[in-house]
Amino acid sequence: MDIIIEKINFMFSNDFYRLYLLILCSIYAGYTLQPVPKWLNNMFNTSNIFKFFILICIGITAVYPIDKNKLINISLSSFIILVLFDIFRTFD
Residue 92 has pLDDT above 80, yes or no: no
Residue 7 pLDDT: 85
Instruction: Provide the terminal-to-terminal Cα distance of the chain, rounded to the nearest Å.
Output: 41
Residue 35 pLDDT class (50, 70, 90 cuts): confident
pLDDT digits (tens, 9 = 90+) for 51-67: 888 888 888 888 778 88
Number of domains present in the structure of the chain: 1
Rounded to an integer, what distance in angstroms lies between the CA atom of residue 84 and that of residue 76?
12
Residue 2 pLDDT: 84
Structural domain boundaries enclosing 55: 2-90
pLDDT digits (tens, 9 = 90+) for 5-18: 888 788 888 877 88
Q: How many CB atoms lie within 10 A of CB 44?
A: 13
Give the list of residues 6+ apart from residue 70 with CB closer than 8 angstroms, or none.
15, 63
Q: How many CB atoms lie within 10 A of CB 66?
A: 16
